[in-house]
Amino acid sequence: MKAVILKDVTKYYRRFTSRRKFQTLKSAILERNLFAHLSPKEIVKAVDGVSLEIEKGETFGIIGENGSGKSTLLKLIAGITKPTSGTIQVNGKVSALIELGAGFHPEISGRENIYINGIMLGLSKKEIDEKIDEIIKFAELEDFIDMPVKAYSSGMYMRLGFSVAINVNPDILLVDEVLAVGDASFVQKGLEKIKEMKRAGKTIVFVTHALDLTQKICHRVAWMKKGKIMMVGEPKEVVDRYLMDALGKESSAELKATSTDRWGNREIEIKEVWLENLQGKRTTHFDYGEGMRIVMRVEAKTRQEDFVFGVGIFNSEGVNVYGTNTHLEYFKPRVIDGEATVIFEIPSLHLINGTYTVDVAVHREDGFAYDYIKNALKFRVHSLSREVGIWRPPHEWKFEGGVKIEPPQQKKD
């Protein structure tokens, strides 16, 4: 049975400009057509002819860049907004967590908002009475539940909204990126609850930029671009296609790592650091198996005989993929004076498709930092392989005995 069916759904939004404000209002009233007198430049097609079916009990992800129409599509499924054209059929009780504080009245307490939202989502007062302690406890708001919600932080809003949404026992749960707001412990608890609902056979549709999470928990994924669905299918394959498209237009400048932190006395200073391939071309995009160099141009302000060079590679979740330094590998420092170049070369990147950051450092053997740059660089590894994790070791499959299996027709790297 289908939980959600969309047929050729389109949603227009008007660009609000003072030049056409009164003329458009008049046309809307007299002709009942808000868009009849608007030129193409005065309208935005947020969703463009989308047809989609989501199965009952399916966990379905929607990915795409900002402005691609993901959140609008979720609002259409939730019934928060209506399509300009096309039809939407939703089979089952829907609970939506789409915008922080949506449906909350700022002047009344969290407790009162629970009752209002619960009734709006189809619960009776008696059912809410039975669930309210669980809702408050899950939201971790015992000390704040009788305060007006206008005093809540964004994280408190998210916790309360999420707790209400999951405790009304919906058939279909819609979740936008709001789960990314708040402390890590509650986000993890929320993800565990989503997985629990998945095991219970609930239909879950969520919009996210967390591509790793998408691949872990979704049955299928849709990639949206400029209001259209570009592809629907197996999560890893769809994410790979989306990243391929992103890599095609993303410049190296756009891949500079954010939140860079730096410390040290700079007696030996890292003047410049960059990534390049084995042909010496500076780049931030690498194919699986391609070689990579981390190059540091350093300068010792005074002659030094105690120094260590180090590098660290981390995935997008901050997990340490690999770290080493010259001391750990038994190099013996002799002297550095003036300018020098340090090259750390990886002949073949055996990393899974994804985004990675690089730390670089020069320090004494006792760990005292001359110059440490956290998140100095950011790079992407592109691969069409469908494995998950971080490292993709060279490997092969062998079969013996009573087993028959056909080899892949085409191996993708």
One-character DSSP codes across 70-136 = HHHHHHHHHTSS--SEEEEEE-S-EEEE-STTTT--TTSBHHHHHHHHHHHTT--HHHHHHHHHHHH
Residues of the chain with CATH 3.40.50.300: 2-249
Angstrom distance (rounded) from CA 362 to CA 310:
6
pTM beyond 0.85: no
Average pLDDT (124-146) is 90
Q: What is the pLDDT of residue 42?
A: 65
Distances (CA, A) of 179 to 68, 102, 142, 188, 340: 19, 14, 20, 9, 47
Lowest average pLDDT, out of 235-244, 284-293, 358-367, 370-379, goes to 235-244
When pLDDT is cut at 50, 70 and 90, the band that residue 228 belongs to is very high
Q: Which of 136-140, 154-158, 300-304, 390-394 has the highest mean pLDDT?
A: 300-304
Predicted local distance difference test score (pLDDT) of residue 44: 81
Apex 214 CA angle, 211 and 217, nearest 5: 150
Ordered DSSP codes for 332-388: ----EEEEEEEEEEESS--B-SEEEEEEEEEE-TT--EEEEEEEEEEEEEE------
Nearest to 178 by CA among 157, 202, 194, 204: 157
Residues of the chain with CATH 2.70.50.60: 253-382
What is the phi/psi pair of residue 379, to 5°?
A: -145, 165
Encoded tokens for 322: 């690999």
Q: Which CATH class is domain 253-382?
A: mainly beta
Residue 19 has pLDDT above 70, yes or no: no
Name the token pair of 324. Answer: 């080493």
Give the burial class of 103: count Cβ atoms within 10 A of its Cβ; 0-12 exposed, 13-18 middle, 19 or more buried. middle
pLDDT at residue number 107? 87
Tens-digit pLDDT profile for residues 265-288? 999 999 999 999 999 999 999 988
Average model confidence (pLDDT) for the chain?
A: 83
Give dist(CA 362, CA 370) in Å, integer.
6
Q: Work out the end-to-end distance of the chain between its first and last CA atoms, rounded to an integer number of angstroms.
A: 36
Token digits for 354? 């994804």
Q: What is the pLDDT of residues 56-76, one digit of tens each?
A: 999 999 999 888 999 899 999
How is residue 104 written in tokens? Answer: 């909350």
- CA 382/CA 244 separation, integer angstroms: 7
> Where is pLDDT greater, at 236 or 172?
172
CATH number for 2-249 (one of 3.40.50.620, 3.40.50.300, 3.20.20.100, 3.30.70.920): it is 3.40.50.300
